[in-house]
Amino acid sequence: MLGLIKAAVALHHLERGNVRGGVRELEMGLPHLVENAGHWPWLDVPALVADLESVLAQARYWGDAFAEHVEWPVLGVRA
């Protein structure tokens, strides 16, 4: 559960322009998501993790300019 909460908090931080806080929460939350993926059989955790890693990479790359450049994925959804 901690991984999902940290992911939600990270996205909230990023959406509000707190890139440093968003990066920190994703760095702490992603390992928990991977370790506990079996707890949510209805959730495509590998897809969610891949999308969150993409957001994390963008946040690290763009830094404070993240909001101007972010390409938000539809988290965890695959066509």
> Tell me: the pLDDT tens digits for 39-56?
888 888 998 999 999 999
- Residue 49 CA: distances (Å) to CA of 32, 55, 65, 73, 74: 10, 10, 23, 11, 12
> Tell me: the pLDDT tens digits for 13-26?
999 999 999 999 99
Q: Where are the domains of the chain?
A: 2-69
pLDDT of residue 11: 93
| 78, pLDDT greater than 80 | no
